[in-house]
């Protein structure tokens, strides 16, 4: 049996655990695929907005945002960010919360759907996460998003046209509706083979175990 396992991932570009979860899932799927017998995984990203009321140009730091908009005491924010930074570092990600530019992510989600339509969604997701958490790039404005899209080989002018016309906004809203149907209340959330849900940035071994279980079950059905 060589049919790959489909994994649908609901996430938000502005979610630090989603980028960490991406790395852990990649490690887990690598362990699974490395076991041989043509094991494979196909990934598709889906839209989830953690803070849809965030302005495109938020005036303030990550600490300002979390303390002012999320109600977390400022004295607790810095230690929390340091903890997340440490966990990110353990999977090879160098988060820079001081440079991070908080923004609305709906246009970034539209770009992910555009990239999917052009066969480049996985590269676009990686580029957006890195731009936001590592490089301090703006991921809420059309021009900045078009620059990032061009960096992975997409047509910049066409991206601008699509984003300004909201061509993929309905796809974003469809993803969000499906998330409600699934009962997803936080991200990252992984739906494996349309049957199993895994919530959060689990360890690589956990992802590998779930994938192996699904693979075994599918093999029994086709045996």
Q: What is the pLDDT of residues 134-177, one digit of tens each?
A: 999 999 999 999 999 999 999 999 999 999 999 999 999 999 99
Find tokens 């809420």 and name the residue: 140
Q: What is the pLDDT of residues 14-36, one digit of tens each?
A: 999 999 999 999 999 999 999 88
168 vs 184: CA distance, rounded Å: 22
User: Which domains, from first to last, does the chain contain?
Assistant: 5-222 (3.40.30.10)
What pLDDT, on the 0 to 100 scale, is given for residue 141? 98
219 vs 48: CA distance, rounded Å: 32
Residue 223 banded pLDDT, cuts 50, 70, 90: low
């Amino acid at each position: 049996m060589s049919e790959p396992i489909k994994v649908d991932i609901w996430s938000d570009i502005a979610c630090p655990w989603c980028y960490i979860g991406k790395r852990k899932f990649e490690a887990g799927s690598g362990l699974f695929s490395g076991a041989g017998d043509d094991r494979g995984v196909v990934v598709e990203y889906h839209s989830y907005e953690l803070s849809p009321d965030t302005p495109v140009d938020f005036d303030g730091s990550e600490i300002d945002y979390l303390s002012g908009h999320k109600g977390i005491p400022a004295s607790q924010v810095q230690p929390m960010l340091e903890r997340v930074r440490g966990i990110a570092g353990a999977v090879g990600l160098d988060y820079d919360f001081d440079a991070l530019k908080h923004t609305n992510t709906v246009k970034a989600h539209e770009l992910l759907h555009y990239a999917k339509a052009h066969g480049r969604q996985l590269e676009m997701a990686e580029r957006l996460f890195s731009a936001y958490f590592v490089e301090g790039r703006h991921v809420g404005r059309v021009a900045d998003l078009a620059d990032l899209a061009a960096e992975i080989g997409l047509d910049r002018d066409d991206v601008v046209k699509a984003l300004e016309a909201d061509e993929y906004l309905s796809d974003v809203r469809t993803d969000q509706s499906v998330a409600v149907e699934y009962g997803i209340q936080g991200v990252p959330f992984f739906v494996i083979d349309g049957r199993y849900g895994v919530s959060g940035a689990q360890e690589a071994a956990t992802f590998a175990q779930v994938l192996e279980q699904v693979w075994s079950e599918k093999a029994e059905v086709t045996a």
